[in-house]
Structure 1
Amino acid sequence: MTGPLPSAHVPAHLGRFLAFDFGLKRTGVAAGNRLTGTATPQATLRAEGDARWPLIAARMAEWQPDALVVGVPWHPDGAAHDNTRRAQRFARQLRGRFGLPVYEVDERYSTTEAHAAGARDADAAAATIILEQFLRSLS
Structure 2
Amino acid sequence: MATIRLLLGFDYGTRQIGVAVGQMITGQARELCTLKAQNGIPDWNQVEALIKEWKPDAVVVGLPLNMDGTPSEMCARAEKFARRLNGRYNVPFFTQDERLTTFEAKGERMARGGQKGTYRDNPVDAIAARLLLQSWIEENPAPPES
Q: TM-score, normalised by structure 1?
A: 0.87
In 1, distance between residues paired with 2:42 and 2:11? 16
User: Which blocks of at least 5 consecutive residues in structure 1 are unaligned?
Assistant: 1-10
In 2, distance between residues paired with 1:101 and 1:50? 20
- Following TM superposition, the consecutive aligned residue runs of length 4 or more in structure 1 with deviations greater than 6 angstroms are none
Q: What whole-Å deviation, never above 9, does each CA across 1:58-103 have from its counterpart, x for those lacking one?
A: 1001111110000001111112222111111111111111111100
User: Which blocks of at least 5 consecutive residues in structure 2 are unaligned?
Assistant: 111-121, 142-146
Partner AA of 1:129 in structure 2: L
Correspondence 1:26-65 to 2 at 5 A:
26-48=16-38, 50-65=41-56
Q: SS of 2:68's equivalent?
A: coil
Would you say the 8 A contact 2:13–2:37 is kept in 1? no
In 1, distance between residues paired with 2:30 and 2:68? 30
Q: TM-score, normalised by structure 2?
A: 0.83
Residue matched to 1:98: 89
Identity of aligned residues (%): 38
Residue matched to 2:57: 66
Q: CA RMSD in A?
A: 1.5
Partner AA of 2:77 in structure 1: R
Residue matched to 2:116: none
Residue matched to 1:4: none
Q: Quick one: higher RCO (CA 8 Å, sep 6+), 1 or 2?
A: 1
Larger Rg: 2
